[in-house]
Structure 1
């Protein structure tokens, strides 16, 4: 099926962050959109308000009848035996994964693909904002809700498109980027790849080989070794203190990071500023600056864009300041991401008690990284661990949140139910509380905030 043949689209799992961005893409083109999702959320309610027909009970009979102009899109998070997916597979429908559709959309465009096991959403969103500021007018498919765009899809009128290149299920191999970024290659999704070596070879190196002839690959300096021998692209590195795009003279002034950026030709762009917390976000900003410069952006665009960028929901998002208590919501679901969030909190609030609630995401990830989760959570002054969010997975014998809890050394740790966690956090009067995880902990965040606004005043 060609995109020009599509006159109607049905999504199985329309409420996912990547799926909903695609849904908005089609609706923007005045193509009727409908679909299923398991639960009504703020995101799905916004899709309905935009004119999409969504139902929340699996009913194959509710699907449109097969037709030559109908495309059915599904996410790999949907179980293979899900009734609507079975009907689509066996009933004569044109059926595509989300990644296949994204590949179709971006194939004839100047694609920027942002990959890496950490930092994809933040870097994709910063890159989009800098390119918009530079007048490059890109479209973008984002993995989070960007405050600057009030959504996860950005429509532009140029040939540029910025996409989050997801390594899960090898989705990013559907892309053919002109400019590609690899932020990190830490082990993850080993349920898909088997081991780290396969993840590097059949994942990230295969992704790099998909870059268009004469294109650009931008990688963090410490993963460059994995991308040697790629003769069809120009390879640049980035980092703090090292790399072709190199941040120097980093300092914190009035709660914001300031730095100078040295480019491959030696040119120095001085005094860039970002309010995003943590040195890991300085690195994300460097990668975004590198893309924007290679795409034709001016250095003044970098200064203006970085200074004004507002961030992304659930990426170290301060959701409450109430008296002496600060509550921060973060999507961290890998040991490296937990460490980055906790370290950023220490950097911003060096004299406060740093507490955290962590919801592990997936049984397989918890099994693979239990020791890493334990080491990261030991950086907290006090830790609460709540039950695993299973998402698409069936339970694995012996794998529960107790596995992480048992490996921790921090004596001030508790293993609680969701209800017990809400009761425990309601008693807090001061310090910093981090709410960490990629599951449905985001549905608990408003309840944590509400109970403090009720008992201690409104805050903000």
Structure 2
């Protein structure tokens, strides 16, 4: 897939009726929601029904399940993401009619016109950091606009059109979209080579971040002082400033002694953390109710953005401490008989490792301990082909691992690239691995493995998210069967032991 180049932005109210293909997606629905707020006629479609889709319909959008050419109606503009193939019937019909076709990023960029833009990028952590910044700005009374790649926990949309002058967006680097956004403040949480089927090489990927961070409109760059790729980016930006005489103010964050926003004294317990943030003479203690060292770093990045926008130190820390998470970021789905089931979007090896380390902290700090049970669905054939060894190494952190087959999404299968490639490479003597290529069998297999005290986490950005509630259901059935069996005067001869029938 070719990388995108920025296009001229058109104000949303000048686009006519807008039809969104894959409008139920976590990022697209937020943009569609904001167009509705502006009074633009919105229609759209998605291959599956979802809460996102129903939420848009309840607000007046004309939405459909499935893709058909006639669903374009009288739309004058069609919005699609890079995941939509050219043979999609709605996209093909838009081309045939000569309608204006915008990439998702151009539609989002149009919403930023006339606002102070904050664009948050990075290989990992951008959704959480975007949500932290947006939520804190809301709590501080600034009523920002925002579009997040995943909604706040319990919300029906990842987008909001506010009355304030700040707009915060999650900036996706996978296809070059992040170069489209007119932002004055940009964030780079980390630079860890990914999406090389688009970028080609790790150097080209890093160069893309340099272009993003040193764009003419950028006044402030917030960047990690700990991540090696981000440190290299900072050096490159400073060289650019020396050579051209122009460039952003650089605000670094992290544990490093020379970080502008410094993290210190971090401790972790359960699914939370305590630490101190400081910027110059300002700063103080903070707590988070979301797990992991990576979320502490995300909070430091968000604090750097907030204080750069003029939010005072105490308000910034207070509002960040109220952050409750976003959907599919270590999200608790249910607890049955002492088994907690979480769902997480992690799909790159670094993300899988970070999530499983957070899960390990959560079980190690509870009385009696427990095991980490990972349910991994590798995402994309190309990523699995390129990173199967690293995925296997990350999975080894778990005690038990159920590896599913690859979720290909928009890609065609690659011979020899399956979930077994990852499962077979998990180092001996680490996690006990079960390879389960049958999607429908995954939940009962997991239920058969777990025992009280365990923490289960489903991992991947594909349809593995639908497995998490099925695991909860399977555990509930096992529990109900156990109660009925134990309460009977004479157990039924064909009644399986807890977990046996499910496995």
Q: Which structure's CA Rg is the greater one? A: 2
The aligned residue for residue 456 of structure 1 is 479
Q: TM-score, normalised by structure 2?
A: 0.86
The aligned residue for residue 250 of structure 1 is 266
Deviation at residue 453 of structure 1 after TM alignment? 2.8
RMSD value over aligned CA atoms?
Answer: 1.8
Deviation per CA, 1:182-233: give whole Å up to 9, x if none: 00110110110001001111x21111122515x0001111323223324221
Q: Secondary structure at the match of 2:416?
A: coil
Which of 466, 484, 497 lines up with 1:443 in the alignment? 466
Q: Secondary structure at the match of 2:151?
A: strand
Q: Secondary structure at the match of 1:357?
A: strand
Establish whether residue 212 from structure 1 lines up as the match of residue 217 from structure 2.
Answer: yes
Q: Secondary structure at the match of 2:34?
A: helix
Q: Distance in 2 between matches of 1:96 and 1:254?
A: 44
Establish whether residue 236 from structure 1 lines up as the match of residue 251 from structure 2.
Answer: yes
Report the count of equivalent residues.
451
Matches within 5 A, 1:368-383: 368-383=386-401
Q: Secondary structure at the match of 1:169?
A: coil
Deviation per CA, 1:147-203: give whole Å up to 9, x if none: 3755311221111000001001100110121110000110110110001001111x2
The aligned residue for residue 200 of structure 1 is 206
Q: Distance in 1 between matches of 2:458 and 2:271?
A: 21
Q: Distance in 2 between matches of 1:29 and 1:245?
A: 37
Matches within 5 A, 1:254-293: 256-263=272-279, 266-293=280-307
Q: Secondary structure at the match of 1:290?
A: helix
Q: Distance in 2 between matches of 1:142 and 1:436?
A: 20
The aligned residue for residue 124 of structure 1 is 130
Q: Distance in 2 between matches of 1:31 and 1:104?
A: 13
Q: 1:42 to 1:254 in 2, by over 3 A?
A: closer
Establish whether residue 325 from structure 1 lines up as the match of residue 325 from structure 2.
Answer: no
Q: Distance in 2 between matches of 1:23 and 1:31?
A: 9
Q: Distance in 2 between matches of 1:291 and 1:38?
A: 37
Q: Secondary structure at the match of 2:158?
A: strand
Q: 1:399 to 1:423 in 2, by over 3 A?
A: same
Deviation at residue 63 of structure 1 after TM alignment? 1.6
Q: Residue 107 of structure 1 contacts residue 175 of structure 1 at CA under 8 Å; is this kept in 2?
A: no
Q: Secondary structure at the match of 1:143?
A: coil
Q: Distance in 1 between matches of 2:203 and 2:71?
A: 44
Deviation per CA, 1:118-172: give whole Å up to 9, x if none: 0010000001111122222210001112037553112211110000010011001
Deviation at residue 49 of structure 1 after TM alignment? 2.1
Q: Secondary structure at the match of 1:261?
A: strand
Deviation per CA, 1:325-352: give whole Å up to 9, x if none: 1111111000000000110011121121
Q: Secondary structure at the match of 2:264?
A: strand
Q: 1:338 to 1:19 in 2, by over 3 A?
A: same
Q: Secondary structure at the match of 2:440?
A: helix
Deviation at residue 37 of structure 1 after TM alignment? 1.2
Q: Distance in 2 between matches of 1:11 and 1:255?
A: 37
Q: Distance in 1 between matches of 2:117 and 2:24?
A: 25
Segments of structure 2 that go 5 or more residues without pairing to the other structure are: 1-9, 242-246, 481-503
Q: 1:253 to 1:195 in 2, by over 3 A?
A: closer
Q: 1:163 to 1:170 in 2, by over 3 A?
A: same
Segments of structure 1 that go 5 or more residues without pairing to the other structure are: none
Which of 232, 246, 249 lines up with 1:225 in the alignment? 232
The aligned residue for residue 397 of structure 1 is 415
Q: Distance in 1 between matches of 2:67 and 2:170?
A: 29
Which of 80, 96, 99 lines up with 1:93 in the alignment? 99
Q: Residue 374 of structure 2 contacts residue 457 of structure 2 at CA under 8 Å; is this kept in 1?
A: yes
Which of 307, 311, 315 lines up with 2:321 in the alignment? 307
Q: Distance in 2 between matches of 1:311 and 1:2?
A: 32
Deviation at residue 360 of structure 1 after TM alignment? 0.6
Q: Residue 177 of structure 1 contacts residue 212 of structure 1 at CA under 8 Å; is this kept in 2?
A: yes
Q: Residue 334 of structure 2 contacts residue 469 of structure 2 at CA under 8 Å; is this kept in 1?
A: no
Q: Secondary structure at the match of 1:349?
A: helix
Q: Residue 315 of structure 1 contacts residue 329 of structure 1 at CA under 8 Å; is this kept in 2?
A: yes
